[in-house]
Structure 1
Amino acid sequence: MDLILKNRTAIVTGGGKGFGKAICTVLVQEGANVIMNYRSNRQDALSYIKKLNDNYSGHIIGFCGDMTISENRERIFETALKEYGSIDILINNAASWTTALVADMPKEEFEHVLDVNLTVPFLMSQKLIQYLIKSGKRGSIMNVVSKAAITGSERNHAHYAASKAGLVGFTKSLAKETASAGITVNAIAPGYMKTEMLNKSFKNRDDEDQQVKKIPVGRIADPIELANVVAFMVSEKASYFTGTVFNGTGGMIMF
């Protein structure tokens, strides 16, 4: 299926690794222009950008910066407009995922996780909506949430679950605000994916095996599988979908 993403421009936060990297890959494969935001491992990011540009029809550039800093948010939008002339898609993927019991958690840690996981998506979405409405353009926002937003955290990440649950509520509310302007807003709730973040969460191989037993399909997802859903959802092929939270948990939750 041709998703007709050629010449459409997407900003992807947290695009340098894991799920964000997979999303960038699929978008470039589908012909989109991509601004890949990342914060570290500059050489790895630049090497991957070159690989994508050498092999696929789309185009990608990198933007190194912390999106909690207002100047960086301004600059990434300016960069997208200067490089590609328009912005059509925003994928709020960057996240902070620290580990602590509520009883032991400093207030600053809680605030930081909410800042990265909820405040930044709000502010980035606000900027895109203002631009799209002023330009009279249609567009799409995809927020990456988590199964923890639905089920709560099982592993000392109550602050993370709270931030992602807030992002679900924001997604649905914003979708109602922007539907008449032709701007769709959706979310995807991944379960376990083969990423560095997941590998760090497993204590050992036995722990991983125990977690896999909870997944009805019997395996951990490849990030590309879920990235394909994201690419479809930000395309014109999915223009009727808005306010939807897609379940990417392999059956761990069903609703």
Structure 2
Amino acid sequence: MTGAPTDPLALFSVAGKVAIITGASGAFGAVAAETLASAGARLVLTAGKAKELAVVAAACRQRGAEVEEIAGRPNSEAACDAIVAKAVERFGRVDILVVASGKNDVAKIVEMAPERFLDVMDANVTQSWLMSRAAGRQMLAQGEGGKVILMSSARGLLGHPAGYTAYCASKSAVDGITRALGCEWGPTGITVNAIAPTVFRSPLTAWMFGDDERATTTRAGFLARVPKGRLGEPADLSGPLLFLASKASDFYTGHILYADGGYTAG
């Protein structure tokens, strides 16, 4: 006897779970929302852009999900507490947190004002910390564990010559939060992990998938360092997300999961 489950696919079920997703109108947030919606989760979606949020929420409802929309960003203690309170008011609990909100601001360090650096750090680091804190309090009160999934990047591990000091620093800090909280909450049943993609298809990167000279030259140079030999697609993030949001990952915490086609391995 190996002890392997007789129904291993059941380990990946999130049916009926309540998931908060911040930055739900963004590329990763929308993938997370639609993936969890299709898997049967109940959703609380937040984003700063109400119109774009409504589009994602409608797509999730078409997939059969119950959805609560909150137009706003997790940019203060009060805002984060209010998001969690709304989830509890609507659905009675919180089981999953996906922090997909964030930003980048590319500039050489000698040309970047300190305020711009701090703005990136606030969006990527402070908001991840505040949302984890607010959702974690609720999960701890429930006493049944939970799943926290933060948004990192291959740039949390690797530098970039094009003016990424703010972004790289912020994602390294997200990695630190992930590891520290994984240790802190380990005994409670709350797992904390991060997904760290490299370039994948989104409105911001759509140009890299084109056929013009700039796209083909840039893509060829980048893919020379990607063992899988292609850029990422949204579906490449769905599987890792479902794993980290479900019982299948109960023994995994404090990990940075690189969705990068092997980019960080070489």
* Residues 75-115 of structure 1: CA deviation (Å, up to 9, x unaligned): 21121111111001111111110111111110100111000
Residue of structure 1 in register with 2:69 after alignment: 62
Runs of 4+ aligned residues of structure 1 deviating over 3 Å after TM superposition are 199-203
1:67-86 equivalences under 5 Å are: 67-86=74-93
Give the one of 37, 46, 55 matched to 1:28. 37
| Matched AA of 2:96 | I
Aligned residue in 2 for 1:235: 246
Q: Separation in 2 of the partners of 1:160 and 1:68? A: 17
**1:209-220 equivalent positions in 2, closer than 5 A:** 209-220=220-231
Q: CA deviation at 1:241?
A: 0.5
Listed one character per residue, the Cα deviations across residues 37-60 of structure 1 (whole Å, up to 9, x for unaligned) are 1111x334323322321233x322
Q: What residue identity is the alignment partner of 2:214?
A: N
Letter in 1 for 2:147: S
Does 2:206 align with 1:195? no
Deviation of the 1:201 alpha carbon: 7.8
Q: Contact 1:89–1:141 at 8 Å: present in 2 too?
A: yes
The residue number in structure 2 matching 1:204 is 214
Q: Which runs of 5+ in 2 are unaligned?
A: 1-8
1:200 offset after TM fit, Å? 6.5
Normalising by structure 1, we get a TM-score of: 0.93
% identical aligned pairs: 24
- Residues 172, 76 of structure 1: CA spacing in aligned structure 2 closer, same or farther, 3 A cutoff? same
Other-structure match for 1:150: 157
Question: 1:109-129 CA distances to partner (integer Å, 9 max, x unpaired)?
Answer: 011100010011111111122
Look up the SS of the partner of 2:136 in the other structure: helix
Instruction: Tell me how far apart the structure 2 counterparts of residues 72 and 245 of structure 1 sit (CA, whole Å).
Output: 27
Inter-partner Cα distance in structure 2 for 1:133 and 1:44:
32
Q: Judge conservation of contact 1:19–1:227 (CA < 8 Å) in 2.
A: no
Could you report, residue by residue, the CA deviation over 1:137-196 in whole angstroms, capped at 9, with x for unpaired residues? 210111110001111223211110001001101110111110101110111110110012
Are positions 1:91 and 2:101 aligned together? no
In the alignment, is the contact (CA less than 8 A) between 1:11 and 1:91 conserved in 2? yes
CA RMSD of aligned residues (A): 1.9
Letter paired with 2:82: R
**Distance (Å, rounded) in 1 between the aligned partners of 2:167 and 2:127:** 14
Counterpart of 1:103 (choices 110, 129, 142) is 110
Bigger Cα Rg: 2
8 A Cα contact 2:151 2:195, kept in partner: yes
> For 1:201 and 1:221, how far apart are their aligned partners in 2?
11
Letter of the 1:4 partner, please give it: S
Rounded to whole Å, the distance in 2 between the matches of 1:201 and 1:116 is 25
CA 1:148/1:201 → structure 2, altered by over 3 Å: closer, same or farther? farther
1:13 to 22, 39, 52: 22
The alpha-carbon deviation at position 132 of structure 1 amounts to: 1.6
Number of aligned pairs?
Answer: 253
Q: Which amino acid aligns with 2:32?
A: I
Give the Å deviation of 1:24. Answer: 0.7
Residues in 2 aligned to 1:14 and 1:141: alpha-carbon distance in whole angstroms: 15
